[in-house]
Structures are given as C-alpha cells and as structure tokens.
A and B are shown apart, each in its own frame.
Chain A
Amino acid sequence: MRRRMLPGFNLSLGYSLSYLGLIVLLPLAALTWKASGLGLGGLVELLRVPRTLAALKLSFGGATLAAAINVVAGLLVAWVLVRYRFPGRRLFDAVVDLPFALPTAVAGIALTALYAPNGWIGQWLAAFGVKIAYTPAGVLVAMVFVGFPFVVRTLQPVLETLEHDVEEAAETLGARRWQIFLRVILPMLVPTLLTGFALALARAVGEYGSVIFIAGNIPMKSEIAPLLIVQSLEQFDYAGAAALGVAMLAFSFVLLLLITLLQRWSRRWAENAP
C-alpha cells in the first residue's frame, strides 16, 4: 500500500481538516443555521421568485461564460509567458496578479471608467453601437477580470514542469507543432485547465464589488444574485440573505464537485491513453 510508503498522512490530513473545519465549515454552518430559520418551504418560495431566478441565471451563466473565456485566454497567456522570451515578459507576468491585488471596488470603478460610453474603450465601441457598461456584457467583463489570474497561475507551474521528452519524442516522429499541442500537451493539461475553470467560475459567481459598478443593476436584466443578498441585508432580513447565500453555495459546491470528478476521470483517461 502506498499509504505506508510516505509519512505524514494522519498529520497532514488531520491538520487540514481541523483548519478547514474551523475557518470554513464552522462559519458556513452558522450560515446554514441562520438560513434554516426560513424553512425548506421558505427557501423554495424564495427560489421561485422570477427576479431571484433571473439574478441566479445571470450570476451562474455569466460566471460560466467568463470562466470559459478565461480558460482560452489564460492558456494562451500562460503558454506565452512560460515558453517564449520577449521584452517586458516579467512585467506582463506580474500584471497577471493585478485582479487579486486591486480591491474589487476599485477594479469595478476602473472598468466602468474604461467601458462607459465616455471611456477609453467604451467610446470606440459606442461608435459601433456596442454597449458594455451598464449591460449584462459589463457583468461579463468584470467576471473575466476577477477570474483571469486563476487560470494562468494554475497552469504556469504545470507548464513549467511538463515533460519535454514526450514533446521531443513526438517531434522526432515527425509530428507537427499543432498536432503535438493538440494530441500530447493539451490532454496533459486538461486536469489543470479544469481546475482553473473551476476556480475562475467559483470566484466569478459570488463576485460583488467589481460587478455592481459596471452592471447597471436593473432587476431581471443586469442584477446579480449577490446584490439580492445585500438587499435582503438592508431589510435586516438575515435569514433571507443567508438562505440565498446557502443556495448559491450549494450550486457552486455541486459544480465544483462535478469538476473535480471530471478532472479525476480526465487524469485517469490521460494516464491510460497510449
């Protein structure tokens, strides 16, 4: 058994579980307890309100789309940063973390300033009749922004340690670059890409600070689910806010679990592939 080979299983798992329990699970238990004040019937009732549904749809739909965009853009950027040398590479490498460092509200204001009809980017788009700020497209832009570093930063270490001999072997066998990429490299990256997707998705679903400035926040159109939570809080309706929070959390959790399973399956598939 492998477990016997390496030490520290009990210690590392025990510590991880205790830490997670205290910092994450206990507080979330408090949240669930607060939400239970509403009862299951109340929760179902809450989720059947068209406005709530529309907001959840925007949050989850937008986040999925944003994560997909980030997987493509993130793979491109990570690849270029790891494989190629060009002037300013380190600077570009550094700005990848920017969405983490910038407070979300600042990011929201800055993005709105760029994409509003009088902004640097917005005025060009406005000439073509395209509106980003104050529409669901603005929500998407903010979600791409906050999720982007996740994909790049998950990919980078893996790309750096990717076995070159496989590539070289394929190359000596006469495979073309894009064939190597599609048949050899990409399958090896799939589990990592899935991780990046999951993280970008999770982050974007709950995002509030950067989205509210650019969204327009019109109910049924550009209103995100976290905004509804804030509205409940403003009514001093802690139970309603907690219930919506728990519902979002449950959806996200199921999504993350599915992605983790998909990832294991893809890894096994990659390992078993000839």
Chain B
Amino acid sequence: MSRRSAGWPRMLGRGLLTLAAIAFLAVFLLLPLATVFVEAFRQGAGAFLAAVGQDEARSAIRLTVLVAAIAVPLNLVFGIAAAWAMARFEFRGKALLGAFIDLPFSVSPVVSGLVYVLLFGAQGWFGPWLEAHGVSIVFAVPGLVLATMFITLPFVARELIPLMQAQGNGEEEAVRVLGANGWQMFFRVTLPNIRWALLYGVLLCNARAMGEFGAVSVVSGHIRGLTTTIPLEVEMRYNEYDYVGAFAVASLLALLALVTLAIKIALEWRYGDELAAHAPGGR
C-alpha cells in the first residue's frame, strides 16, 4: 500500500466499497450457491449421500476429471504461445487473431457442440471415413474433450495477454542482451512474471471445463456411466424428477471448485505473500 496514514474519510470509503462488493457477491453468487446446497440436502444427508454414492455419479466424476485433465493442459500450452505472439510482437492481422481467440466465447454452447457433430457425426464431413475405420469421436470421450477444448480455449490466453502487454518487453530483451537463450529467458523471466496470471487462467479454464454443459450435451450421447460428465448427470437426474439427486451431484461440482480454491490458497501460502505484496519491485 502506498501510505498507511489513512484518515477517517478514506477508511469510511474503503469500508463502503468493501461492503458494496460483498453485497454484490453475496446476492449474485453466494445465494445461488446456497440454493444448490439447500436443495441437495432438502431430504437430509442420507438422501444426499445415497445420490452421490451411485456408480453413475462416480463414473461421471471420473470422466469429468479425465476430460479436464486432457483439455486444460492443451489449452495451457496454446495460451502461452498465443499470448507470447500477441503481447511481444507486432504483426499484421493481430487484431484479427485476438478476435479469433475470443471467438469460442461468443459461439453459443448450443452451436459449439453442433459443429463437431457436423464434422465428425455420421452425417458429417469426416463421419463416413471415421465409421469405416472404426473410430468414434462424437458420442464418445474424444468428442467430449474436443467440445471442452473449444469452450475453454480462450481462458489462459485471455488471462495472459493483458498482463504481458502491461509488463512490456523490457526484462526479456535485457536477458537476451545478456546472452540468455530463448528457453532460459522463458523459464527464468517470462514464466515467473506471469505465473499468477497463469494460475488464474488454468483455474478458470479448469472450472469451466468441468462445468461445461451445453456443448458437451450435444456431443455426449448421454450414455449413462460411459459418456456422461457431472453436468450431464445433473441434467439427466433433473429430467427424471430426481430433484434432490440432481442438486446433490451439482453440489459435487461446487465442491470441486472449492478444491481448486484450496489448491490456490495452498500455493499462495507456499510461495509466501508474493501475490499479496504485488509489489512490482519485488520480482
């Protein structure tokens, strides 16, 4: 913080701003979360445990984790590459590339699943060839992974680009001048400078990958125990009038989100107050 000699008015201002932020978060985010848990436990803990203990729920969790474990690292590598190109170089069509990176956000989830069906479905471009070779992409795990990659593709890149642009080229150019090769520069300067943004990006990417519903729903085929991720399991239970079961499984996703939070907090602790200090001179 700049100066600690905060007077009354400033303290008051801070207090009011903090209250306003908390109020917004509470009404818009915490209440919906609370609703999920209230519905999940409406018939008691026994019903909740019975609902999440079913084999179908377990296989849905496994599949969700598997899909995220493939899609997130791929998008991580893409994000770093794209951010490097976008933030460190000037080239023609840069604005266009930026807009392309954001494109998956603006594609309706309804459509983003459909496009893979149009490509790999039985009536799609590559469908007949795939069928002849006994490969299934849609209505199988690869389709789920592809749709998830599509939906979460921009996250890491979007997180890194503004930060790297704000940081500028200076430090990297300096170590280059001092004779570091490309990878040395990347691992010793670039990566440490962007690690928190990278972490945010990965956490967001992961949360969205696990929670994605619309696109995945189109390519899944909803085969129970085989191609249903947690969000799809929620949908199916809801549609079967298993209200408590649906919310119980949904609360699992919220819990998964809390696990990622725990990881984040642990990392923050482990690496001291670097994030909290956020002092530019501290690097």
A-side residues, CB < 8 A to B, are: 2-3, 5-9, 11-13, 15-17, 19-20, 23-28, 30-31, 33-34, 73, 76-77, 79-84, 86, 88, 90, 92, 94-107, 109-111, 113-114, 120-121, 144-145, 148-149, 153-154, 156-158, 160-161, 163-164, 167-168, 171, 177, 191-192, 195, 198-199, 201-203, 205-209, 225-226, 229-230, 233, 238, 241-242, 245, 248-249, 252-253, 255-257, 260-261, 264, 267
Contact = CB atoms under 8 A, between A and B. Distances in A.
B203 interface: yes
B16 to A, nearest CB: 10
B18 interface: yes
A144 B27 CA distance: 12
Contact residues of A: prevailing secondary structure:
helix
Contact of A260 (B18, B99, B186, B208): B99
Contact of B25 (A84, A92, A154): A92
B69 interface: no
Contacts of A82: 278
A154 B103 contact: no
B167 A161 contact: yes
Contacts of A229: 108, 110-111
B163 interface: yes
14 contacts: A13-B85, A106-B36, A113-B39, A160-B278, A191-B165, A195-B162, A199-B154, A202-B102, A202-B106, A226-B109, A226-B110, A241-B114, A252-B103, A260-B98
B53 interface: no
Given A104-B213, A264-B95, A149 B108 contact: no
B17 interface: yes
Given A12-B85, A153-B159, A154-B162, A101 B253 contact: yes
Nearest to B89: A9
B234 A105 contact: yes
Interface string B156-189: 0011011101110100110010000110011000
Given A102-B253, A156-B200, A157-B197, A191 B162 contact: yes
A134 B246 CA distance: 22
B110 A24 contact: no
B82 A84 contact: no
Interface in B26-66: 27-33, 35-36, 39
A271 to B, nearest CB: 11
A179 B247 CA distance: 48
B222 interface: no
B102 A208 contact: no
Contacts of B142: none
Nearest to B100: A20
B207 A23 contact: no
A264 B162 CA distance: 11
Contacts of B253: 101-103, 106
A156 to B, nearest CB: 7
B206 to A, nearest CB: 9
Contact of A257 (B88, B96, B163, B185): B96
Contacts of B27: 121
B134 interface: no
Interface of B: 1-3, 10, 13-14, 17-18, 20-22, 24-25, 27-33, 35-36, 39, 77-78, 80-82, 84-85, 88-91, 95-112, 114-116, 118-119, 124-125, 146, 149-150, 153-154, 158-159, 161-163, 165-167, 169, 172-173, 176, 181-182, 185-186, 196-197, 200, 203-204, 207-208, 210-214, 230-231, 234-235, 238, 246-247, 250, 253-254, 256-258, 260-261, 264-265, 275, 278-280
Contacts of A31: 111, 114-115, 118
A33 B89 CA distance: 34
Contacts of B234: 103, 105-106
Chain B, interface SS category: helix
B278 A206 contact: no
Contacts of A30: 115, 118-119, 124-125
B162 A192 contact: yes
A174 to B, nearest CB: 13
A103 B231 contact: yes
A60 B234 CA distance: 29
Nearest to B257: A101
Given A161-B166, A226-B110, A84 B158 contact: no
A158 B161 CA distance: 10
Given A94-B264, A103-B231, A245-B111, A199 B256 contact: no
A206 B103 CA distance: 11
Given A82-B278, A198-B102, A207-B108, 12 more contacts: A8-B182, A16-B101, A27-B150, A31-B115, A80-B17, A95-B25, A98-B254, A102-B254, A158-B162, A195-B162, A206-B110, A261-B95
